[in-house]
Amino acid sequence: MKKRHLNNFAIVGAGMVGTAIGYLLKKAGYEIVAIADKSAAALRRAQSYIGGKAYRKPQEVLREADCILITTPDDIILSVCKDIALSPLIKGKYIFHMSGAGGLDLLEPAKKAGAAVASIHPLQSFSSIDNAIQNIPSSYFGITADAKAKTRAETIVLALGGKPIYISSKQKSLYHAAACVASNYLVSLLNVVESIYQSIGISEKDAKKAYLPLIYGSLKNIEFSGSIQALTGPIVRGDSGTIQKHVDAINANLPQYASLYSSLGLVTVNLARKKGTLNLRQAKKISDILKGVINHEHAK
């Protein structure tokens, strides 16, 4: 049954996120009346999930829908917005983008043309359409909206099963940087873990089986106690001798990871001080070991 307080939707950008968002909105009872994408294959795939008329040009969806979700790659959001802003049909429409780092400046052409604008960004990672469909509900969404679009942006997030948090345009870059550290850099960090284990003859498969329970345990500790209280390990214990052994082994065998180890170690020293387990003398000794690596790297 179509919701009267939320008009028809069009998706511009028939990629993974756009298709998943469209599917979830349709599942919630809303109608996806149009999809636009340059790729015929992407349009066919998206239609199999959400239906709607297929268009190759973004401007054409304005004939069909009152709410337009721009789910293209970040770098072309502004050009897509400029394109649809040329249509006289844009006045009174609601235009949304789903970029984590981009602010409302990307939608300024639409706003000047008489549309209400907002950004709704799911704080979640996706590896496939089906994975996105599964993960989006219960995720937090960063909302950045002008006054006219704020209520509607929140309504969309709630329809998706999400939880809204409000982010100003000035805060978007930091908000998204934190998300990248939490998701993308965690993946990169675990790839480093695998590389270290592989260097001593442990297979990738066995390494994953070995470290994943450790990761899950750490995440549970963070969930229940917070990141500072969840911190464990040699730095928290003030074990400078172990840290020196780590540094020596990494320098000798995997020097490409030396700066990473030391930089994260310095962050960990600060956390250990906040936790109250590390005195100033211990903190200085460990920091000197770690800074010696970083200073050596800079001196090269």
Beta strand 94-97 pairing with 116-122: parallel
Q: Annotate 74-108 with b (16+ C-beta within 10 A) or e (fewer).
A: eeebbebbebbbebebbeebbbbbbbbbbbbebbe
Rounded to a whole number, what is the largest CA-CA distance in the chain?
70
The answer to which of 93-102, 163-172, 246-255, 291-300 has the lowest mean pLDDT is 291-300
Taking domain 9-171, whether its CATH number is 3.40.50.720 is answered by yes
> Phi and psi (nearest 5°) for 86?
-75, -20
Distance between CA atoms of residues 139 and 163, nearest Å: 6
Q: Alpha carbon of 154 to those of 21, 162, 276: distances in Å?
A: 14, 9, 41
Amino acid at 179: A
> How does pLDDT run across 32-85, given as a tens digit for each residue?
999 999 999 999 999 999 999 999 999 999 999 999 999 999 999 999 999 999
Q: What is the dihedral of CA 149, 152, 154, 160, to 10 degrees?
A: -130
Residues in the chain: 300
Q: Which of 1, 5, 133 is nearest to 67 (CA)?
A: 5
Distance from the Cα of residue 295 to its chain's centroid: 32
Distance between CA atoms of residues 27 and 208, nearest Å: 36
Whether pLDDT at 299 is above 60: no
Does residue 93 sit in helix, strand or coil? coil
Output the six-digit token pair for 97.
């983008």
Q: Which of 94, 52, 89 is nearest to 70 (CA)?
A: 94
pLDDT at 96: 98
Distance between CA atoms of residues 286 and 241, nearest Å: 9
Residue tagged 């695998």 (tokens):
194
pLDDT at 1: 36
pLDDT band at 298 (very low <50, low <70, confident <90, very high): low
Sequence ranges of the chain with CATH classification 3.40.50.720: 9-171
Residue-wise DSSP of 172-234? HHHHHHHHHHHTHHHHHHHHHHHHHHHHTT--HHHHHHHHHHHHHHHHHHHHHH-TTTT--SH
Whether pLDDT at 294 is above 60: no
Distance between CA atoms of residues 206 and 9, nearest Å: 46
Report the chain's mean pLDDT, rounded to a whole number. 93
pLDDT band at 100 (very low <50, low <70, confident <90, very high): very high
pLDDT at 295: 57
